[in-house]
Amino acid sequence: MTDIGKIMNEVDSRQDELVSLLMKLIRYETPAPPARNTCEAQRFVADFLQQRGFSIDMWDVYPNDPNVVGVLKGTDSEHYQSLIINGHIDVAEVGADECWETDPFKPIVKDKSVIGRGAADMKGGLAGAMFAIQLLHEAKIALPGDLIFQSVIGEEVGEAGTLECCNRGYKADFAIVVDTSDLHIQGQGGVITGWITVKSPETYHDATRRNMIHAGGKMYAASAIEKMTKIIHGLQELENHWAIMKSYPGMEPGSNTINPAVIEGGRHAAFIADECKLWITVHYYPNETYEQVIKEIEDHILQVAKADPWLKKYPPHFKWGGKSMIIDRGEIFPSLEVNPDYPGVKQLKKSHQFVISEAPIVDVSPTVTDGGWLGNAGIPTVIYGPGKLQHAHAVNEQISIEQLVNYTKVLMTFIYEWCHTETN
């Protein structure tokens, strides 16, 4: 690491430039929701990369929400390892009643931290990666392997800009998602949302309820809301079973949960509820797939339905996932397992140790990122970024400047070493 060591000191001496870059990114107001607001920020990223030798692919995923992919072709791509650096440009929404010290999109420096929406999640990671690229470019370091930079949209609302990159054919030997991880090297569990619907084929006046529930009423009918309570109890039973029977190293027991998040049902007070919908959020372990989890839930709930005379005849219907929490009220985040023996992971650990003089923590994120889509596409991937999760989405969101500087050094070192590593 002798060559890269000569320019590492640049990060320290020019940390004001790094902070300025982060603050510029924060000033672009890209909250999602409402989304459809990233074009100006993405043009800045595209111009930044293009000025440093990258070819640019920029396309609209949604109107005014484009993805940007920059490709820096290596001098000997066929024989050296390639790398994807991935991050999302959208940030969490800001509530009208949130009490910030400053305008969330007018960042400030206070107590050796940058405060502003997206500082931790995850414009800090983007800024560190971009500044590392800048310093490598200024040092005229030619990388033998390809370097691909992805600035994507929609992560905060399940609009998988990263999936669009995968579908467009972008691949590499290794990928780093520069999302909030407090400099831990992480995998993740997965998340999928779903709708469970109980629906009656008939509609009844509320005055018929006596006939529906009392002996001799002779009406074969039911309230969809009341029947949904059986479904909810069934989900709780399955969740308890998972907590007992399933586990994953590095994750708290019972992290695989089924959250009944939203319930919608009934017409108004003069009707027996003929339809009820339950929106659930399911967290599952890194070694599971959403297809597997969907099957387990459906199989169990349909067995619950068979034990009820009315639900047996009118079983619940399921709808899973979605492309957007804004458009179709659904999302998928595939899980991601980290192989500690993969050469890219080993090299990232070495780079971290070299810069910070302590071994990195390799664990599992308690939240989800776009990393699962890259892993799902067959690309060995890790989450590795600056910022603490408790600051993400929070009022006065912030990131430590010291950690941002260290992160930039690690990533610059890793880019250099990995893209100088011969393929087997």
Q: State how far the Cα of 179 lies from the Cα of 254, in Å rounded to an integer.
A: 24
Which three-class secondary structure state does DSSP give residue 173? coil
422 is catalytic: no
Output the six-digit token pair for 247.
């586990």
Question: Where does residue 237 rank: exposed (0-12), middle (13-18), buried (19+ CB within 10 A)?
Answer: middle
Q: Which of 370, 366, 337 is nearest to 158 (CA)?
A: 370
Distance between CA 59 and CA 129 in Å, rounded? 21
Backbone angles phi, psi at 66, to 5 degrees: -90, 150
Structure tokens at 265: 């049902």
- With tokens 């839930």, the residue in question is 297
Which of 10, 90, 274, 288 is an active site residue?
90
* CA 49, 50, 54, 55 torsion-angle sign: positive
**Residue 260 β-bridge partners:** 280
CA distance 224 to 264: 10
* Integer Cα distance of 186 and 386 in angstroms: 12
C-alpha 246/C-alpha 93 separation (Å) is 34
Catalytic residue status for 155: yes
Q: Which two tokens stand for residue 50?
A: 């293009």
Q: Phi and psi dihedrals of 178, rounded to 5?
A: -90, 40
In 307-399, which residue ranges form alpha helices assigned H by DSSP? 309-313, 343-356, 371-376
Which residue from 307, 311, 314, 301 is spatially nearest to 231, judged by alpha carbons? 301
Catalytic residue among 65, 121, 146, 155: 155
What are the DSSP calls for 242-291, one per residue? Answer: HHHH---TTS-TT-S-EEEEEEEE-S-TTB---EEEEEEEEEE-TT--HH
Catalytic residue positions, numbered: 90, 155
